[in-house]
Amino acid sequence: MLATFRRLMDEGMEADVTECVAGTNGLLCGLAVTLPGRGNHPSERNLFHVYLVRDNRIVEIQPYDDRTSAAMAAGIA
């Protein structure tokens, strides 16, 4: 996952963290992502990741395209 982000950042992707919320199953992280597009037309989208933590370590990162699914996976009511 981190290697993919590194490659995308090297290609001009920009990302801002829009939220970070702890749930009972994991940590929900919202990202506003801008990918370089053709010409001057970048592609913008929101992504959500759930970081599953065990023994104070991230053991899995799950990507989601919508906040509702990510919130459910993270255990956020």
For residue 74, give the DSSP letter: H
List Cβ neighbours of 48 (8 Å cut-off, separation of 6 or more).
28, 29, 30, 31, 63, 64, 65, 66, 67, 69, 70
Q: How far apart are CA 6 and CA 24, in angstroms?
A: 29
- Residue 6 pLDDT greater than 90, yes or no: no
Mean of pLDDT over the chain: 87
pLDDT at 1: 58
Residue 23 has what pLDDT? 95
Say if CB 12 and CB 6 are below 8 A apart: no
Q: How confident is the model at residue 49 (pLDDT cuts 50, 70, 90)?
A: very high
**pLDDT tens per residue, range 18-47:** 999 999 999 999 999 888 877 777 788 899
